[in-house]
Amino acid sequence: MEINSGKADLTSLAPPLRALFEGQQAAMEALRSENAALSDRNQHLEDQNRRLEHLMWEMRRAVYGKKSEKLDPGQLQLAFEDLEAAVAEAEEAAPAAARGASRRKRRAAERNIGHLPAHLPRSEQVIEPPSTQCPCGCGEMERIGEDRTERLDIVPAQLQVIVTVRPRYACRVCEEGVTQAEAPAHLIEGALPTEGAIAHVLVSKYADHCPLYRQSQIYARSGIELHRSTLAGWVGKAAFHLKPVVDRLAWRLRQSGKLFMDETRAPVLDPGRGRTRTGWLWALARDDRSWGGPDPPGVVYFYAPGRGGDHAETFLKGFKGILQVDGYAGYNRLADPDRQVRLAYCWAHSRRKVHDVFDRDRSGIAAEGLRRIAEFYAIEAGVRGASAERRLAERQSHTAPLIEEFGVWLREQRTRLSAKSRLGEALAYIARHWDGLLVFLEDGRVEMDTNCVENLIRPLALNRKNALFAGHDEGAAAWGRVASLVETAKLNGVEPYAYLKATLEAIASGHPASRIDELLPWAFTPDSP
C-alpha cells in the first residue's frame, strides 16, 4: 500500500479491508469536524468570559474604585444601565454558542405569574391547537387544563382630544329664554392642555428629568407639534398657580422644631454675558420618620442668586429650633441666641474629610479616626426607627463615652500634626464644629448627619445634568417650586402625576384659600376631588 499526499491508495486493498478503511476515514473526518466545532465553541466561551470579567471589573470600579474613578449617583445609574445591558447581551449569547453536537435541555420559561400588579389591565390571548380531534380517531378531545403566562407589554403614551359640547336650548313659544351649561373651569383659559396634560409635562420635566425640548420631540412622534416654548408657557403658568400651595408647605415646615438645610448649584443663563452664572437652590426639609415623629416629611426648594447666609436667613424667617446643616460657614449667622436657632452639624461631612486623607495617604491616624467614627454609626444603626426617648438613652449610655474618648484623641493628634497638613486641616474642621457635632447626644430627634437632605438634593442634580441650566431666575424659582411638590409627594408615597393633576384641577375649580392645607401632598388620596 502506497501513501500519496497523506491519503491511502485503496485500489490495492481487498473489498472488506477497503470498506473498513473507508469507515475509519469517515469517523476520523467526523472527529476532526467535531473537534473543530468544540475548538470554536471553547474560543467563543473564552472570549465571552473575558468580556464578562471586564464588565464586572468595570462595575466594581464604578462602585468601589478610587474616588477619582467613582461616579456620582446620577452617572452611576447611567453606567449601571449600560453595563447591565451589556452583561445581559453576553449571557443571552451563551446558549447559542453552547449548542454543539449535543442538544442541551431547553431552559425553563421565565414566568412572572402573580408578580405583575393586579390593577394593570389584562388583554387575554387564547391560543388553540390546530386541531382538537384525537389522533386515534376517537373524536373531539376534552379540555383538561391550561398553561397561563403573563408578560408585561408597554403601550406608548396616547394623546387624546377632549371635546366639550355645550348644547343651547331655547323656548319656541316665547323665543326669549335661552339656556346653556356653563363652560368648565380651566387652569389656562382658552389654551390647549387639560390639567392632566400640564401635570404630565411637569412630572416629565421635574420628576423624570426630561427637558422640554425632548418632550417636544416625543410628542412630535405621536403626530402633534408642541413647540418647546409652548410647553414652557404651560410650566410657567402652572408654577404661578401652585405658588400658594408651596408657600403654605414652606410655612408648615417652618413650624417644626427641627429641620435640615442644604444648598446646591442652579446654573442660570445670562444672555448679556453669553454664558451661565451660578444661582443656588436651597433645600429646607423635614423628615422625622427615623424616630417615628408625628409630622409628615416634606421639602421646599428656594431659589436665590447667591450662596450668602442672608438667603438662608430669609428662607428660615419664623423658624425656631434645631437646624441640621453641613459645615458651610454661611450658616454661622443663623447661630444667634436671639433667633432661637441652634445648629447641629454633620458627622458624615466630618468623616468624609478624614476619609479623603486616608484614601490618598493611607494614614494610620486617619484610619484610627475612621474606626472611631464607625463605632458611633454602629450604635446609631441599632436605634434607627426607635422612639426619640430610647435613641437619647442609648446615645447617652453608649455613644457619649466614645465621643468623649474621641475628643481626647482629637486634641492629642492635633498637637502632634501640622495645622497646615491635609490631616491637620481635617481634624481642625472637626474641632471647629465640635459643639454642633454633639447636639445629637442631647436630643433623640436629631440625626448624626444630614444625609436625609443630601438625598433630596440629588434629583436637582439630575435635572441640572439633563437641562444644563435654567433660562432665567424666574425659571429657576419655578423649578424649585414644582420640584418641592414632586419630591414631597414622593416622600409621602404619593404618585406625583395623580397629585399634580388633582391639585391643578382643584385650583382651576376655585378651591378656597381657607382650605389650602387640603392641597398639600401628604393630604392627597387617590379619591380626592
pLDDT for residue 87 is more than 90: no
| Residues contacting residue 36 through CB under 8 Å, at least 6 positions apart | none
pLDDT at residue number 150: 82
Q: Please give the residue that has the higher pLDDT: either 214 or 11.
A: 214
Residue that wins the pLDDT comparison between 504 and 168? 504
Q: In terms of pLDDT, which residue wins out, 491 or 74? A: 491
Nearest-angstrom CA–CA distance, 508 and 128: 52
Distance in angstroms between the alpha carbons of the first and the last residue of the chain = 100
How high is the mean pLDDT of the chain? Answer: 81
The helix or strand, by DSSP H or E, that contains position 506, with its residue range, turns out to be helix 496-508
Q: What is the pLDDT of residue 395?
A: 95
Asked whether residue 175 carries a pLDDT value surpassing 90, the answer given is: no
Grouping H, G, I as helix, E, B as strand and the rest as coil, residue 300 is strand
Which residue, among 171, 116, 173, has the nearest Cα to 148 in the 3D structure?
116
- Burial letters 497-516, b for 16+ CB under 10 A, else e: bbbbbbbbbbbbeebeeeeb
Q: What is the pTM of this model?
A: 0.74
The proportion of the chain whose per-residue pLDDT surpasses 90, expressed as a percent, equals 35
**pLDDT category of residue 485 using cuts at 50, 70 and 90:** very high
Q: Report how far residue 302's alpha carbon sits from residue 246's, in angstroms, rounded to the nearest whole number.
A: 10
Task: Note the pLDDT of residue 114.
Answer: 55
**Domain spans, the chain:** 189-245+493-523, 254-490
Is residue 487 a contact partner of residue 279, using CB atoms and an 8 Å limit? no
Q: What are the tens digits of pLDDT across the range 297-311? A: 999 999 888 888 888
Share of the chain above pLDDT 70, in %: 80
Residue 336: the pLDDT is 74
Q: Is the per-residue pLDDT at 101 higher than 50?
A: no
